[in-house]
C-alpha cells in the first residue's frame, strides 16, 4: 500500500512543471481581467485630472487679474487613450540545453502600455466674448438657486449692483468695496434677503399668467387654429356659441417676500408686462410692507455681471479693493453666516501651507484654504460656484466647445 502511494507522488521536476503550467493558466485568465481594471482606472484618472486642471486654471486667472495681467482659458475638447496588453510565453530546455532532460522551463512575460492623446483648444475670439464677456442671464441665476445655492452667495458673486427704486428715481448700490456707503447698503440688503430665505419667507420664482383667446365655436375657419393651439399646450373650453383657448405662461423671475399667486390677476399681469421689459441680466426684487421682512422694504433690480467681471472682483479683492465687514440692519433677522469676503483667496509666499486648490504665480502661492469651519465651507462652496458659472457661461452658438469626450481603445 505504501509503495503504491509513493509511486503516485510527482518528482521534483514534474512538480515544477505542473506549477509552471498552473501559473501560465492563471496569467492567461488575469490578462482578461487587466483590461477592465485598467479601463476603470483610466476613466477616473482622466476625470480627476481634467477637474483639477479646470480648478487650477480658475485660480490662475484670478492671480493674473490681481497682477493686472491678461487672462487666458483653454478647453480640453477630447481625450483619446489606447491601451495595449501583451503577453509573451515561451519555453527553453533546462540550463540552456547544457544538461540532459526532456522537460522544458517556461518563460512568461506580460506588459501594459498606454498612449493618451489630449486635444487642448485655447478659448479666444467670439467664443471668449460669449463665455467671458457676456453678462449672465437670470435663467442661470434661477437654475443655480433651484439647486440649493445660498441666495446671499449667489448675489454677492454674480451681481454687479442693486438698483433700488426710491421715490421714482434709482439709487445705484454697487457691489464694489471701493464705493463705501453704497457697498455697505448693498451688503445689508443682500443680508436681508438671506435672512428671509433662511426663515422660508423669500420667494424666488417666475411670474405665471394665463393667456386666453376667445373664438366663435361655429366658425369653421378657426378649427385649424384650435387644433394647432391644442398641440402647443392650450386648453379649449366651450360656452355656448363661444369658446376659449387658454394656457399658463411663465414670465421673468422675481425675488419677493410674498407669494406671487396671492396677487390679483390684474396686478400679476402688470408685473408680468413690466418685468418683460427688463434686460435679460436683470432680476426684479420686491420686498413689500405687510409681509415678513417688510419693515425694511425696497424695490428694484439686481443686475448680473459677466464672468470676467467676477474674476476682476475676486482678483482685485485680494489686495486692492478688499471687502470689509458689514453688519446687518437692525430690521434684519439673524443669518447663519456673514463672511467678510465673497471668496477668500490666500496670497502668500512660497512656504505657505497649501490648501486643496493652490497655484504658483509670480513667485507667490495663491490658494483656497479648506477646513471644517462654516467659513471654510462657505469659501469652498464659493469656489465650486465659480467653476459652475464658468461651465454655465457656454452659450448655444457655433463657437461653444462641446464637453470633453473620452475615447479609449483597447
Kindly state whether residue 173 falls inside one of the protein's structural domains. Answer: yes
pTM for the full model?
0.74
What φ, ψ does residue 26 adopt, rounded to 5°? -65, -40
173 & 294 share domain? yes
The pLDDT tens digits for 106-158 are: 665 656 666 667 666 667 666 777 778 889 999 999 999 999 999 999 999 99
DSSP secondary structure, 208-246, as one string: EEEEEEEEETT-GGGHHHHHHHHHTT-EEEEETTEEEEE
Which pLDDT tens digit goes with each residue over 24-50? 555 555 455 545 555 666 667 767 777
Same domain, 39 and 166: no
- Give the residue from 300, 317, 342 where a domain finishes: 342
Q: Same domain, yes or no, for 140 and 73?
A: no
* Sign of the four-CA dihedral 45, 46, 52, 56: positive
Residue 47 lies in a domain: yes
168: left (phi over 0), alpha (psi -120 to 50) or beta: left
Could you tell me if 32 and 161 lie in one domain?
no
CB 340 within 8 A of CB 201: no
| Boundary (domain end) residue, out of 74, 101, 123 | 123
Q: Are residues 114 and 263 in the same domain?
A: no
Nearest residue to 383 (alpha-carbon basis) of 58, 48, 51: 58
The answer to whether residue 265 is domain-embedded is yes
CB–CB of 388/144 below 8 Å? yes
Indicate if 80 and 193 belong to the same structural domain.
no
Would you write out the chain's pLDDT as a tens digit for each of its 410 residues? 444 444 455 555 555 555 555 555 555 554 555 455 556 666 677 677 777 878 888 999 999 999 999 888 876 666 666 666 565 655 566 655 555 555 556 665 656 666 667 666 667 666 777 778 889 999 999 999 999 999 999 999 999 999 988 766 678 999 999 888 999 999 999 999 999 999 999 999 999 887 777 766 666 556 666 666 666 667 777 666 677 777 778 889 999 999 998 999 899 989 999 999 999 999 999 999 999 999 999 999 999 999 999 999 999 999 899 999 999 999 999 999 999 999 999 887 655 555 678 888 888 888 887 788 888 899 999 999 999 998 887 654 444 445 554 444 44
For residue 286, is it within any domain?
Answer: yes
Q: What share of the chain is helix, strand, coil (3-state, %, to 5)?
A: 40, 30, 30
Q: Are 26 and 34 in contact (CB under 8 A)?
A: no
Residue 169 and residue 93 share a domain: no
Same domain? 155 vs 297: yes
Domain that holds residue 44: 12-123
In-domain check, residue 40: yes
User: Could you tell me if 163 and 111 lie in one domain?
Assistant: no
At residue 209, the pLDDT reads 83
4 in any annotated domain: no
Whether 89 and 176 share a structural domain:
no
Please indicate, yes or no, if residue 89 is contained in any of the structural domains.
yes
149 with 191, same domain? yes
How many domains are contained in the chain?
Answer: 2
| Residue 394 forms part of a structural domain | no
Q: Tell me: do 153 and 180 sit in the same domain.
A: yes
Amino acid at each position: 500500500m505504501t509503495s503504491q502511494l509513493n509511486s503516485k507522488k510527482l518528482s521534483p521536476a514534474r512538480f515544477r512543471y505542473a506549477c509552471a503550467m498552473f501559473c501560465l493558466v492563471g496569467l492567461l485568465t488575469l490578462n482578461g481581467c487587466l483590461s477592465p481594471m485598467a479601463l476603470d482606472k483610466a476613466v477616473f484618472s482622466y476625470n480627476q485630472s481634467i477637474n483639477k486642471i479646470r480648478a487650477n486654471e480658475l485660480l490662475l486667472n484670478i492671480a493674473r487679474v490681481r497682477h493686472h495681467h491678461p487672462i487666458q482659458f483653454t478647453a480640453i475638447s477630447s481625450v483619446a487613450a489606447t491601451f495595449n496588453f501583451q503577453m509573451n510565453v515561451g519555453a527553453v530546455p533546462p540550463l540552456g540545453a547544457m544538461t540532459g532532460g526532456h522537460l522544458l522551463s517556461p518563460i512568461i512575460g506580460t506588459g501594459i502600455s498606454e498612449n493618451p492623446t489630449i486635444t487642448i483648444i485655447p478659448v479666444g475670439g467670439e467664443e471668449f466674448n460669449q463665455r467671458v464677456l457676456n453678462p449672465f442671464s437670470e435663467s442661470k441665476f434661477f437654475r443655480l438657486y433651484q439647486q440649493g445655492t445660498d441666495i446671499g452667495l449667489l448675489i454677492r458673486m454674480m451681481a454687479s449692483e442693486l438698483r433700488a427704486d426710491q421715490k421714482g428715481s434709482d439709487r445705484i448700490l454697487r457691489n464694489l468695496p471701493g464705493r463705501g456707503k453704497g457697498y455697505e447698503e448693498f451688503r445689508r440688503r443682500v443680508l436681508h434677503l438671506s435672512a428671509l430665505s433662511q426663515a422660508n419667507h423669500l420667494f424666488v420664482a417666475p411670474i405665471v399668467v394665463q393667456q386666453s383667446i376667445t373664438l366663435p365655436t361655429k366658425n369653421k375657419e378657426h378649427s385649424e387654429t384650435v387644433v394647432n393651439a391644442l398641440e402647443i399646450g392650450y386648453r379649449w373650453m366651450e360656452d355656448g356659441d363661444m369658446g376659449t383657448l387658454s394656457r399658463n405662461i411663465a414670465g421673468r423671475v422675481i425675488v419677493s417676500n410674498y407669494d406671487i399667486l396671492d396677487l390679483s390677476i390684474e396686478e400679476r399681469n402688470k408685473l408680468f408686462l413690466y418685468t418683460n421689459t427688463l434686460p435679460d441680466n436683470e432680476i426684479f426684487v420686491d420686498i413689500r410692507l405687510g409681509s415678513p421682512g417688510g419693515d425694511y422694504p425696497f424695490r428694484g433690480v439686481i443686475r448680473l455681471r459677466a464672468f470676467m467681471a467676477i474674476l476682476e472682483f475676486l482678483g482685485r479683492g485680494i489686495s486692492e479693493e478688499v471687502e470689509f465687514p458689514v453688519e446687518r440692519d437692525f430690521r434684519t433677522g439673524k443669518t447663519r453666516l456673514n463672511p467678510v469676503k465673497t471668496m477668500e483667496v490666500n496670497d502668500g509666499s512660497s512656504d505657505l501651507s497649501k490648501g486643496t486648490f493652490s497655484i504658483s504665480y509670480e513667485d507667490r502661492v495663491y490658494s483656497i484654504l479648506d477646513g471644517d469651519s462654516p467659513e471654510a465651507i462657505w469659501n469652498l462652496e464659493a469656489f465650486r460656484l465659480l467653476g459652475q458659472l464658468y461651465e454655465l457661461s457656454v452659450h448655444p452658438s457655433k463657437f461653444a466647445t462641446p464637453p470633453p469626450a473620452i475615447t479609449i481603445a483597447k
